[in-house]
C-alpha cells in the first residue's frame, strides 16, 4: 500500500506541472495512509523532470520524523502535518505558487464567490489568512503556517471539504481533498477561479453572486440529492 501511495503522490506532483500551475521545483503534493499514520510527500528542491515514485519521502505524522526516502522532504512538510493532524477527512494536500491565487495572497484578500464556476467547487469565499507575526516566522515558520490555516478555518466555521483551499497571506495557496489527486484538482481549479475573479473585479468592482445561486450550484454537485454527472 505504501508503494501505491508513493506512486499516487508522484503522479499528483507531475499533474501540477502538466496543468502549468508550477514551474521549476516550486510546489509540493502529499498523501496520507491514515491506518499507518504515514505521509508521503515530494522531496525538497528536486526538479519534476528528474523525479520518480522512488524519490518520494515518507514521514511519520505522529513524530514528524522521516522513516523512508533518500532525500530531505519538502520544506513545507510541517504545514502538511498540522493539517493532517487536525482534519482526519483530508487525504491529500497541495501547495503551489500559482500566479493568480498568489496575487490574492499578496493582496491579503479572500477570493470571493462571484460565479457558478467557483460555486461548483468552493462553498463560499476562499479565505485569506492573516499575516504571520515576526515571532511565528522566526520560530517554527512552516508549523505556524499550518496553525494559521487552521485558525482561519476554525474562526470562520469552515468545513474543510466544503471549501477545500485557502490562501496564506503573503505566501500562496494550499488546497486539499480526499486524496492527493483531489488536492491537485482543487489547486488547478482555484487558480482558474482566481483569474476569473480578478478579471471580473476589473470590469465591475462591485460584482457579487446571490446566495441562492451559490447554493444551487454547490449542492447540485455535492449535496445529498446531487444530480451533476453520472451515477
Return the pLDDT at 1. Answer: 77
Residue 9 counted as domain residue: yes
CA distance linking residue 53 with residue 180, whole number of Å? 14
Calpha distance 102→172 (Å, rounded)? 5
First and final C-alpha spacing in the chain:
28
Domain count, the chain: 1
Place of cell 500500500: 1
Average pLDDT over every residue of 189-215: 98
pLDDT at 143 over 80: yes
Task: Check whether 229 has a pLDDT greater than 90.
Answer: no
Compute CA distances 106 → 28, 100, 109, 159, whole Å.
20, 10, 8, 24
Residue 224 has pLDDT above 90, yes or no: no
7-64 pLDDT per residue, tens: 999 999 999 999 999 988 899 999 999 999 999 999 999 888 889 999 999 999 999 9
CB atoms within 10 A of CB 36: 14
- State the catalytic residue, choosing from 24, 68, 215, 228: 228
**Residue 32 confidence (pLDDT):** 98
The reply to whether 228 belongs to the active site is yes
Structural element, H or E, at residue 154 = helix 141-156
Contact by Cβ (8 Å): 29, 16 = yes
Q: Which of 120, 212, 215, 218 is catalytic?
A: 120
Is pLDDT above 80 for 230? Answer: no
CATH number reported for the structural domain that contains residue 57 in this entry: 3.40.225.10
Do residues 24 and 47 make contact, with C-beta atoms less than 8 angstroms apart? yes
User: How far apart, in whole angstroms, are the C-alpha atoms of residue 40 and residue 38?
Assistant: 7
**Residue 182 lies inside a defined structural domain of this protein:** yes
230 located within any domain: no
> Could you read off the pLDDT of 106-125 as tens digits, one per residue?
999 999 999 999 999 999 99
User: Does residue 229 fall inside a structural domain?
Assistant: no
Rounded distance between C-alpha atoms, residue 82 and residue 87, angstroms = 9
**Does residue 120 lie within any of the structural domains?**
yes
Task: Please determine, for residue 193, whether its predicted confidence score (pLDDT) is greater than 80.
Answer: yes
- Is 76 a known active-site residue? no
State percent of the chain over pLDDT 70: 100
Whether residue 127 has pLDDT greater than 80: yes
Task: Enter the pTM of the model.
Answer: 0.95
Task: Decide if 79 is inside a domain.
Answer: yes
**Res. 231: pLDDT tops 90:** no
Q: Does residue 231 lie within any of the structural domains?
A: no
pLDDT in tens, 213-223: 999 999 999 98
Provide the mean pLDDT of the chain. 96
Cα–Cα distance list, 183 to 6, 141, 217 (Å): 15, 22, 20
Ramachandran assignment for 172, one of left (phi > 0), alpha (psi -120 to 50 degrees), beta (any other): left
The pLDDT of residue 49 is 87
pLDDT value of position 157: 98
Domain residues for the domain of 37 are 2-222
Please indicate, yes or no, if residue 227 is contained in any of the structural domains: no
Q: Is the pLDDT of residue 93 over 80?
A: yes
Residue 228 pLDDT more than 90? no
pLDDT at 182 over 80: yes
Amino acid at each position: 500500500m505504501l508503494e501505491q501511495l508513493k506512486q499516487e503522490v508522484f503522479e499528483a506532483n507531475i499533474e501540477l506541472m502538466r496543468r502549468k500551475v508550477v514551474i521549476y521545483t516550486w510546489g509540493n503534493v502529499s498523501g496520507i495512509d491514515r491506518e499507518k499514520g504515514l505521509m508521503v510527500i515530494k522531496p525538497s528542491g528536486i526538479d519534476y523532470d528528474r523525479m520518480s515514485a522512488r524519490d518520494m519521502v515518507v514521514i511519520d505524522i505522529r513524530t514528524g520524523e522521516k522513516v523512508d526516502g533518500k532525500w530531505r522532504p519538502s520544506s513545507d512538510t510541517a504545514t502538511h502535518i498540522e493539517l493532517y493532524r487536525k482534519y482526519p477527512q483530508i487525504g491529500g494536500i497541495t501547495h503551489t505558487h500559482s500566479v493568480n491565487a498568489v496575487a490574492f495572497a499578496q493582496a491579503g484578500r479572500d477570493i470571493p464567490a462571484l460565479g457558478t464556476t467557483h460555486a461548483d467547487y468552493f462553498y463560499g469565499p476562499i479565505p485569506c489568512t492573516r499575516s504571520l507575526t515576526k515571532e511565528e516566522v522566526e520560530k517554527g515558520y512552516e508549523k505556524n503556517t499550518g496553525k494559521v490555516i487552521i485558525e482561519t478555518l476554525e474562526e470562520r466555521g469552515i468545513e474543510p471539504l466544503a471549501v477545500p483551499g485557502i490562501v496564506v497571506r503573503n505566501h500562496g495557496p494550499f488546497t486539499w481533498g480526499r486524496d492527493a489527486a483531489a488536492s491537485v484538482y482543487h489547486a488547478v481549479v482555484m487558480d482558474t477561479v482566481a483569474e476569473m475573479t480578478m478579471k471580473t473585479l476589473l470590469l465591475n468592482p462591485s460584482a457579487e453572486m446571490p446566495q441562492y445561486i451559490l447554493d444551487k450550484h454547490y449542492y447540485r454537485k455535492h449535496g445529498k440529492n446531487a444530480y451533476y454527472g453520472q451515477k
